[in-house]
Structures are given as structure tokens and as C-alpha cells.
Amino acid sequence: MLDLRQVSKTYRVGAFGGRRLHAVRGVDFSVRPGEVVSLIGESGSGKSTIGKMVLRLISASSGTIAFEGADIAGLRGHARTKEYYSRVQGVFQDPFSCFNPIFPADRVFELVRAEYAGAVSQAHWRARVEDALTTVGLDPAQVLGKFPHQLSGGQLQRLLIARALLLDIRMLVADEIISMLDASTRIDVLNLLGDLKARGLGILFITHDLSLGNYISDTAVILRRGRVVERGATSAAFSAPAHPYTRRLLASVPQLHTSWQQADARLAQEGEGECPGCAAGGRPGEHGPVDLADDHAVGCYTAA
């Protein structure tokens, strides 16, 4: 459904744009209907940039992003953009910044109504909104007509998810949507994503939290400095990580019965191993991910 091929994003920085900043470099992956793909990486690994490129909020410098076979860079004109957004929606990390502070929070629904459901009667629309709010576990009476500063971060975040549900979407980009929620609402939102997945939506789940990525996703894409370091079925990537970075990442998750020293010692003992891409004759630091198994690929070990 969604296919990224060699997608890169480069920014010009510094005086006169003399220097280049490579935010995303040659990323490939796909999202199928009913599949949750996690983009996992540390801050600055380019995961949110990829999400914004998929949402067409920024354009890719090179490579193609295709949705249902059509390159989204080719969607010219307002009507086709609008059509795209009726299929693909996103929920962002910071719910406080997603609401215009001077309007009531439910204005986000009004915008959707104004653009996509102008013909729907007020009462019918209200029923649809209340239905969507109930789906995300909010009491309509508590949130409708309130200003953003009168609502909690969790409520705002769920309002945004409800907004995405008002449209008949096929793909959801969820950019760190759990980070601002407390533990009790987290599981509700995760289960909600599970429901959406069961309905056949493709979900691009962007997170820096390994356990969340492990919990929810079918496929994990681990990014570092804009490059894919490991990509594969979540079970494979998490149980048999190949790339040294992934192994280090997994080892750095705090565990009850293992101290940091033990984890470090185990990593040192295992060693980094040899990069399969370089071993097969690829140029170190430049070759793309190579397949280890059917659904498991690993990037170059030496890439900076």
C-alpha cells in the first residue's frame, strides 16, 4: 500500500546553504494493509522526517514514496492533495501544539467537516463526532466546546486520533503518539491501534520506545542517522538482532536482573561480527541493506 524507495531528505544549512545535512538517506520499506510498521530510532534518526514526508508536509529530496501505486510527489493540485488526505492521516507527537490555542479544541473536527463533509447535517455530523470520541474512550460532554488549555495531554491526543477516524482512512502515521500519555491511557490507545489494524488500516508507528515497537508492530525498521540499520519482522529483529547497533539498543533497555556491566560484558564477548554486506563485496558505508533471511535485512555495520 505504501512503498518507500530510496527516500532521502537533505537540508542545506549554514551561511548561503553551503553545507548539507542528510536527515534521511536511502530508506526503503513498505506498509501493507492491516500491518503495523514501527520506525524505531533515537532522536535525530530521521523517523519523524519520514513520517512528515509520507504525510506530504515536506517533500523528499530524492527517491519515491508511492501510495497505492501512485507517487505522492506527483499529486499536483488541491483536489488531489485533499483526496490523498482522505486516505492518509497522521497524529503528531505534541498534542499541545496541534491545537490552535485561540479556538475550542473541537475545531479540529470542524476543519474536517468543512473540507470533507460540508453536505452532512449538523446533527448527523455531531453524532459521527460523538461516535469517534467514544471509540477513543472520551466522553463527548467532557471535551466538546472546551479550549485546548482546559484539556489534558491525553485527552488532546485522543481527540487527534478521533479526528483521524472521522475520515475513512487506510493509512495512519502515528508519530510518538504514546509518549505524552500516562501508563493507564497508553494501553487503551495501543489497543485502539490494534482495532484499527484489525479493520485493515496500515499503521506507520513512529517511536523511540523499543518495548512499544515490539508490542504493537509486525515489522520493525530501526533507523540510525537517517539510515535503515535493520529491517524485518518484529520477532526476527528483536529476538535475533544482527546489526551491532540494534544489539546495543536492545541491551540498553533496563532489565531487572541484569546490571549494565553484565550487559556490556556480554556484548563485548559476542563481538560485532562481520558485516554481511561488506563480506559480499559491498563498499563499506555505502551499500544498502542486505537480506539475511526472508523478511530480515541489515544495513552496513560500518556506516557512520
Partner 1 sequence: MSDSAIEAKAAQAETGVSGAGGVRWRDTAHFAVRNPKLLIGAGVVLALLATGLVGPLFIDNPPNAYVGPKSAPPGGGYPLGTTSFGQDVWAQFVFGLRATFLVGLVGGGIAAAVGMVVGFTAGYRGGLVDEVLNMITNIVLVLPALVVLIIAAAYLEARGIWLQGCFIGLTSWPWVARAVRAQTLSLATRDFVDLARMSGRRAYKIVFREIAPNMSSYLFMTFILLFGGAILIAAGLDFIGLGPTRGVSLGLMMHSAVSWSALSGGMWWWFVPPGLGITAIVGSLYIMNVGLDEVFNPRLREL
Q: Which residues bind partner 1 (CB under 8 A)?
A: 52, 55, 57, 78, 81-82, 85-86, 89-90, 92, 94, 97-104, 106, 108, 111-112, 114-116, 121-124, 126-128, 130-131, 134, 144-147, 160, 163
Give 124 or 199: the residue with its C-beta nearer to partner 1: 124
Q: What would the grid cell of residue 271 be?
A: 563481538
User: Are the beta carbons of 276 and 292 closer than 8 angstroms?
Assistant: yes
Give 74 or 77: the residue with its C-beta nearer to partner 1: 77
Query: What is the C-alpha to C-alpha distance for residues 94 and 173, in angstroms, rounded to an integer?
Result: 14
The distance of closest approach from Cβ of residue 23 to partner 1 in the complex, given in angstroms and rounded to an integer, is 16
Query: What is the C-alpha to C-alpha distance for residues 111 and 176, in angstroms, rounded to an integer?
Result: 23
User: Are the beta carbons of 9 and 53 closer than 8 angstroms?
Assistant: yes
Closest CA to 186 of 149, 158, 206, 219: 158
The distance of closest approach from Cβ of residue 35 to partner 1 in the complex, given in angstroms and rounded to an integer, is 22
Which strands sit side by side in the sheet containing 19-31, from one edge to the other?
19-31, 2-13, 62-67, 70-71
The distance of closest approach from Cβ of residue 202 to partner 1 in the complex, given in angstroms and rounded to an integer, is 17
Q: What would the grid cell of residue 217 be?
A: 508492530
Which residue, chain included where needed, has cell 488531489? 80
The distance of closest approach from Cβ of residue 212 to partner 1 in the complex, given in angstroms and rounded to an integer, is 21
- DSSP 3-state of 20: strand
Give 14 or 271: the residue with its C-beta nearer to partner 1: 14
The distance of closest approach from Cβ of residue 180 to partner 1 in the complex, given in angstroms and rounded to an integer, is 12
Give 1 or 156: the residue with its C-beta nearer to partner 1: 156
CB atoms within 10 A of CB 8: 18
The distance of closest approach from Cβ of residue 163 to partner 1 in the complex, given in angstroms and rounded to an integer, is 8
Give 82 or 199: the residue with its C-beta nearer to partner 1: 82
Q: What would the grid cell of residue 5 be?
A: 524507495
Give 141 or 256: the residue with its C-beta nearer to partner 1: 141
Which residue, chain included where needed, has cell 483521524? 164
The distance of closest approach from Cβ of residue 149 to partner 1 in the complex, given in angstroms and rounded to an integer, is 12
Give 151 or 303: the residue with its C-beta nearer to partner 1: 151
Query: What is the C-alpha to C-alpha distance for residues 177 and 45, in angstroms, rounded to an integer?
Result: 17
Q: What are phi and psi of 124, to 5 degrees?
A: -65, -45
